[in-house]
Amino acid sequence: MAENTRNTTVVVTGATGRAGSRVARAARAAGLTVRAASRATGFDWGDVTTWADVLRGADAAFLVHPVDIGHPDAAGLLGAFADRAVALGARRLVLLSARGEERARPAEDAVRASGADWTVVRAAWFAQNFSEGPLAEELRRTGELVFPGGEVAEPFVDLRDVADVVVAALTSGETYAGGEPEVCGPRLLTFGQAVAEIAGAAGRELSYRAVPAREYGERLAGFGVPAAEAEFLVELFASLLDGRNARLSDGVRRFLGRAPRDFADFAREAAAAGAWKG
């Protein structure tokens, strides 16, 4: 249970995105005052002159790098933001990171170096990647998910669990300072199995087609993704999906004292909300 939510103001970056929107909701439900930070509220990662207004007077911040945290620019940006947050009085920072992503380590280190109490939440692949964003859009529109995920298994995590872990870290006093929970779902599923569960929940024929990483890169380029970004994503997926993450972790149980939500519940609820209506 929250120890110190009263009069606590938390800046939630990425507040219009998949992770940040759920963290904002969970934080409000826990009694925190949320300051939503995205371009809609005048905060821009690319413009340091917009940072102070959102940070001034805040006690804590949840940091979401707007593109993958393994991006070469992430450590510099997150480190500078963390330093500014601490200089303006924030005492606690929670960073969204990725499980098994070695390239995320410099960004994690940069946040640790800020001097704040920090927690690094290393999330598995989001279940909501199947219901929100570009992959989801392709699945909904074409009925097919084309991805270089092979037959590798991943414990897809429901972002509501990620949000609950983040809020536990924000409200726990000293308990979770310095923690690096790996947050995942309770079951290992291949991408094919995940799409099959979604098809069952959506009452619609949906399929998964595994493609080699290089072919996927060429597809991205065909969709207009700049060459450097496509290459980065191909290398990222190849490393994350090489089998290193085909295991369960205990972050949800350790921080929340309960089991993670199951993928089947995610699929049923997202289907009911119309996520895969053709």
CB nearer to ligand NAP: give 4 or 190: 190
Task: Report d(CA 111, CA 119) in Å as an integer.
Answer: 9
We find the least distance from the C-beta atom of residue 201 to ligand NAP, in angstroms, to be: 19
Task: Report d(CA 94, CA 120) in Å as an integer.
Answer: 6
Tokens representing residue 56 in the block:
């001034």
* Amino acid letter, residue 107: A
**With contact defined as beta carbons under 8 Å apart, do 172 and 122 qualify?**
no
We find the least distance from the C-beta atom of residue 88 to ligand NAP, in angstroms, to be: 17
The residues, any chain, with a CB within 8 Å of residue 53's CB and separated by 6 or more, are: 42, 43
Task: Report d(CA 127, CA 193) in Å as an integer.
Answer: 12
Task: Report d(CA 154, CA 147) in Å as an integer.
Answer: 14
* Binding to ligand NAP, residues 65-124 (CB under 6 A): 65-66, 68-69, 96, 98, 123
Give how far the C-alpha of residue 132 lies from the chain's centroid of Cα atoms, to the nearest Å. Answer: 12
- Binding segment (CB under 6 A) for ligand NAP, from list 13-21, 204-212, 254-262, 267-275: 13-21
Q: Which residues pair with 93 in a beta bridge?
A: 61, 118
CB nearer to ligand NAP: give 4 or 231: 231
How far the first Cα of the chain sits from its last, in Å, is 41
* Amino acid letter, residue 218: E
CB nearer to ligand NAP: give 106 or 204: 106
We find the least distance from the C-beta atom of residue 142 to ligand NAP, in angstroms, to be: 20
We find the least distance from the C-beta atom of residue 40 to ligand NAP, in angstroms, to be: 5
CB nearer to ligand NAP: give 105 or 204: 105
We find the least distance from the C-beta atom of residue 156 to ligand NAP, in angstroms, to be: 8
Q: CB atoms < 10 A from the CB of 212, how many?
A: 12
CB nearer to ligand NAP: give 51 or 276: 51
CB nearer to ligand NAP: give 3 or 47: 47
Q: Does 126 bind ligand NAP (CB under 6 A)?
A: yes
Q: CB atoms < 10 A from the CB of 103, how many?
A: 19
The residues, any chain, with a CB within 8 Å of residue 57's CB and separated by 6 or more, are: 9, 88, 89
* Binding to ligand NAP, residues 37-56 (CB under 6 A): 38-40, 43-46
We find the least distance from the C-beta atom of residue 86 to ligand NAP, in angstroms, to be: 20
CB nearer to ligand NAP: give 43 or 208: 43
CB-nearest residue to ligand NAP: 17
Task: Report d(CA 72, CA 208) in Å as an integer.
Answer: 31
Residues near ligand NAP (CB under 6 A): 14-20, 38-40, 43-46, 64-66, 68-69, 96, 98, 123, 125-126, 129
